[in-house]
Every structure is written in structure tokens, then in C-alpha cells.
Structure 1
Amino acid sequence: MPLKTIGTIAIPDAVGGEFDHAAFDATSRRVFIAHTARDCVEVIDHDAGKHLATLPGFPGVAGAIADDGQILVTNRGSASVALLDANTLETRTKYKTGGRPNGAVIVAQSGLGIAACIGDEGETPTLQLFELNGPKHVSIDLPGRPRWCVTDAAAERVFLCIREPSMVLVARLPDLGAVTHWKVPSIGAHGLDIDHSRGLLYVACDDSTLVEMSSISGDVTNVWPIGGPPDVTFFNPATGLVHVAIGEPGLVDSIDPRNGNSTRTVTGAGAHTTALVAPDQLYVISAAHGGVLVLSDT
């Protein structure tokens, strides 16, 4: 059965807007949403089920990532990332990056921020690492356009989707060393998440497939069809389901990798980004719904 719709949460100026990656911070119980078209970050109070604040000043914001009360925001329009306090909503600091930072990771336990930068004309794509409370800044060149990235449970490795050649790039933390390339057997590696308990990566690809890979060896263990070119991908450890947002025609495909069963939930045209609010809700950021479509994942 499709995911059950619980309700909606209105976001100011959502109609006609364009959104990108969002994240739930379990410490503050807030959801942070990149509102790309308005150069701002929208904040939702999850427990109250309402819009809390609009934070301006994030040019071309591409994504928000949360960990332990800290939010890392990538700004494609200013070649920078910003570190926010999830409780006070204040910007603590900003870091310069390569051109058009896109996918990102924040690791509070290690004090690290990571940004995958697409680059500008004549600039090589890079993966950049920042020490959040120190001067360390490491950068490595990438073999193609980066998409999304995640780390393993121990924050010892980072995994990054590369569009072409389609692969998952793996680098050691905290120095981005020991780089390896794992070929993905589908075109356009894009959305990415990880099942830490089973050691599996889920790579949603532009040719309308979801690929399961070992996060230890890179071996491909399964490939499933999905309903269109994907974007944001989340694995929910509470239900064991992988949710893939598909902007056109506006779907969330939910795959159970334990048996291959899948369900499809109709959302809204252009709704290509989501936020997993663990353990039991999926926020679909949808301009057609005026903000957030809240789905039950139980």
C-alpha cells in the first residue's frame, strides 16, 4: 500500500518555489529545508507541526544536513558552506568552498564538514573537508560531477555518488585518503543512503533504477526498477524501507530490500526532495502542496 498522508505544513512563498535537500535534526526536533528559489533555509517545528522560521542569506542553497544540533548548509550561489546552530538558528561560521557546493555531510563527533563541489566553468569538481573548529581544509579532485554523499557509522569513510562515469567514490576520513572507485552498473548515480546495520549502500540512478551495494567491498547485490529519474533517497532503519523521491511525475517509490517488494505514493509534480523524520514520518517538500506533504512510514 502507498504511504499514508497525515497532513501538510505550509511554508511561506512555497508556491512556485524550488526546494532541495532537507534534514531532520533529532536534537532540536526541527527540520531544515533548502529553499533554493528564495535563497533561504526554512525551519519546521516537527512536534508542533508548523513552520517556525525563514532564515535568509543562503545564495542558491542546495542542501541542509543535520547532526547533533548542528546544521551544515551548502550555498551554490556563493561557493560556501554555513554552519548553523539548530537551537538558536544562528549562523556560527562560513567556509569558502569550490564552485557550486552540492552534496554534503556533517560529522559532529569528529568535528568535520564535507562538501562535494560541482565546480564552475574551467574548475575541476572537488571533494572538500573542513575542520569545524579548526583550520584544517583538505581538497581532492573528482573524476566527474558529484551528487550526494554519506559516511559509514564510525565516520571512517565517506561515500560519494559521481554522475559520469557512474560510480561511488570512497575516501578515508579524516584526510580524504585511500580513494577508491566503485563502478555502478546503472547510468547516473544520484541519490544515496546507507544501512549501517547491514553494511549496504542504496544508490538511486538517473536511468530509473535503485542499486544495492556492499559498503565494505562495493559489490552489487541487487538492482530494482523505480518510477523515473530520482533525487533524494533515504533508508529508514525503523522500517527497513528505502524511499526514493521522483520529481516527475511526482512520486515516492518505497522499496523493501529484504524481499524486493515496492509501493508507490503519488506526491506532486516537482517534489523531488524529502526529509526522513525518524522513526515514522517522511516529509515530501512539495511546492504543489504549498510546503510539506507529511507521510506516515510505519
Structure 2
Amino acid sequence: MPLTPTGHVALPEHRGGGGFDHAAVHAASGRVYVAHTANDAVDVFDDRRYLFSVPNLKAVAGALVSDEADLVFSSNRGENTVAIFGPGPDPEVAKVKVGLGPNGLAYDPRRRLLLAANVGDPAIPHSRTLTVVDVGDRGVRAEIAVPGRTRWTVFDPESERFYVNIADPAMIAVVEACKPDALACTFAIPAAGPHGLDLNCSTQQLFCACDAGTLVILDARSGKTLGERALSGAPDVIFFNRQRRHLYVAVGDPGVIDVFDTASMDRLGRIETEKGAHTLALAPAGDCLYAFLPATHRAAIYRMGVP
């Protein structure tokens, strides 16, 4: 099996609707930061226990860790802000107003630019945008219009580009970090509803998991489609494990993780989680994967290479 379950960590019970959303791991401490949307908080835990929460992040949708900057970012959809704070307990939280409904986050540590992909509101014209935040100045650098609802986003330090999934029309929008005030180009996606997104920097492969139940593999330089694979259902969060060259795709219904070998793009396994478990976090060392179980408010821990 490509993943071996090794335990669970109990997290705070939900106080409202929404469950969990995007999560990330802080490499230096091994602590996991997960957006607990139902509680307007980012929960923090390690492999043994829940540690603390960062509160007052209304309808938090995403958590992103920059190990280079030693910072944590969150997108707070209920108040149209991004939060910036350190990785320890009781952090001082700075908030910056961004566009309507921030969701996906990506960070360029060299330029200290944070991109927030805003889902907008179809009833409000021109509300589908990307906000580029100068983290050093704690201010907005640029606001970029996009043609549809955004999903997740990633930053490639090699090409110095941000890639942003757009659900409809199905595409990936590209922003160059050196020119962060406009779209550089877009890549058409041959499947409905681009959702989860990750990148293999060494091969320049983009992995785009789509609501149509399809994984699309693209060349990040040209946007050319390199292949497609069927998924177990409509996906959400995906992570590329650069050490093992595996890709993990969370599918909330029926509640599984699809695992692929990215060299051959063969499916290696289908790991059961829990119905509604649509989000993951991958340890930077590539040895541990976390799946978030909304029905039982727990994090399931999976190890790689455990017999």
C-alpha cells in the first residue's frame, strides 16, 4: 500500500457549518495548520495531539505555510481578508483587506508577494479577482480581474509564476511574479471544473484535478495537455510528493485518497478516509500525509513506506 494509516488526532468539535478546508505543515516544528471553517479558526496540532487554535478568522478557507519566511497565511472568506502570523502559539495576527471571498493562496518568498484567489460573487460584476499582497508592507500591490470563479493556486519558484485554477471557463490563469498586475496568459483545461492544483517543479508538470472526475496533466511552460486520468469522483485538495513522486487526490464522495505514480501516471491505490473528507496536508519531508475527517472532527495520519 502506498499509504499506511498510523493513527488519529482529535480536533475541536465544529461550532458551525463548513468543516475543514485547506491545510499546510510547518517544516521546522512538524506542526500542521488547518483551516477549521466551522470554527472561524486555524487549528494547530502535531502527530500526537491538538495544540492550539488561532481564532477570529471568519469563514477561514485556506492555510498556507512559508518555511522560507517562517510565516503562516490564511484566507478568511467571511471578512474578505488574508491573515499573516508567526507559527507559534498566541501569534500577533495582521490582516489585509483583499477581494471578495479569498480562497486559494500562494506565496513568492523572494519578492514577499502573497497571491489571494478570490471566488467573488456572480451577482456582483467584476468581483472575480486575484489580489497580490506585499507582505513586507502589509498592503495590496495589485488587483487582477479573472474571467471566472477561482479555486486553488500554486507558485513555481523556478519560473517565478503563479498558477491559478479557474472553475468556469475551465482554465489555469498565469501571473508572472515580476509583473504582478496582469494575467500573463491562460491555459485551457479539457475537463469541467478545475479544482485542486499542484506542480512538479523538476519536470514542470502541472496536476489539475477537475470536478468532472478527471486529473489533467499539463506542461507548465506551454499549457499543453500531457495526459488525463480518471478519479474516484469529484476531487478537491491535491498534493505532489516530490520525494516519492506520488500525487495524492482527496475525493470527498465517497471519501477516498487516489494515489498516482507521477512518472507513469499509474494509479497506485485508493485509500478509504471518511465521507466528506476533501482536504489533505503533506509533510515537507514527504513521509506523512494528513486527511481531515469532518464527520468525526479528526485528522487521520498516514505514513509512507511503513510495512
Structure-1-length-normalised TM-score:
0.95
Please report how far the alpha carbon of residue 50 of structure 1 lies from its aligned counterpart in structure 2 after TM superposition: 1.4
Give 1:264's aligned amino acid: R
1:67 and 2:66 aligned: yes
Determine the structure 1 residue equivalent to 2:124.
122
Note the 1:248-287 alignment, pairs <5 A.
248-262=253-267, 263-278=269-284, 279-287=286-294
* Contact 1:104/1:116 (<8 A) preserved: yes
For 2:202, what is the secondary structure of its paired residue?
Answer: coil
**Deviates most, 16-25 or 139-148:** 16-25
Give 1:225's aligned amino acid: A
Determine the structure 2 residue equivalent to 1:10.
10
Q: 1:216 to 1:133 in 2, by over 3 A?
A: same
Determine the structure 2 residue equivalent to 1:295.
302
CA distance in 1, matches of 2:179, 2:78: 27
Q: Deviations over 1:143-196 (max 9, x none)?
A: 000000001123611000000110111111143245211001111111000001
* Contact 2:170/2:188 (<8 A) preserved: yes
* Contact 2:144/2:183 (<8 A) preserved: no
**Deviates most, 92-101 or 194-203:** 92-101
Please report how far the alpha carbon of residue 91 of structure 1 lies from its aligned counterpart in structure 2 after TM superposition: 3.3
RMSD: 1.7
Q: How many aligned residue pairs are there?
A: 296
* Contact 1:70/1:108 (<8 A) preserved: no
Determine the structure 1 residue equivalent to 2:230.
225
Q: 1:31 to 1:118 in 2, by over 3 A?
A: same
> How much identity, in percent, do the aligned residues show?
36
Q: 1:178 to 1:77 in 2, by over 3 A?
A: closer
Determine the structure 2 residue equivalent to 1:93.
94
Q: 1:295 to 1:172 in 2, by over 3 A?
A: same
Q: Deviations over 1:24-53 (max 9, x none)?
A: 11133211000001111100124xx21110
1:166 to 164, 170, 187: 170
CA distance in 2, matches of 1:194, 1:89: 33
CA distance in 2, matches of 1:29, 1:240: 21
Determine the structure 2 residue equivalent to 1:109.
110
Please report how far the alpha carbon of residue 108 of structure 1 lies from its aligned counterpart in structure 2 after TM superposition: 2.7
Unaligned runs of 5+ in 1: none
Q: Deviations over 1:41-91 (max 9, x none)?
A: 100124xx2111022101000010011221110000000000010134413
Please report how far the alpha carbon of residue 297 of structure 1 lies from its aligned counterpart in structure 2 after TM superposition: 2.6
Give 2:148's aligned amino acid: G
Determine the structure 1 residue equivalent to 2:141.
137
For 1:295, what is the secondary structure of its paired residue?
Answer: strand
CA distance in 2, matches of 1:253, 1:33: 21
CA distance in 1, matches of 2:5, 2:21: 21
Q: 1:274 to 1:89 in 2, by over 3 A?
A: farther
* Contact 1:63/1:104 (<8 A) preserved: yes
Q: Deviations over 1:181-240 (max 9, x none)?
A: 100111111100000111110000001011110111111111000100000010000110
Unaligned runs of 5+ in 2: none
Note the 1:133-212 alignment, pairs <5 A.
133-134=136-137, 135-154=139-158, 156-176=160-180, 177=182, 179-212=184-217
* Contact 2:2/2:304 (<8 A) preserved: no
1:80 and 2:84 aligned: no
**Deviates most, 150-159 or 79-88:** 150-159
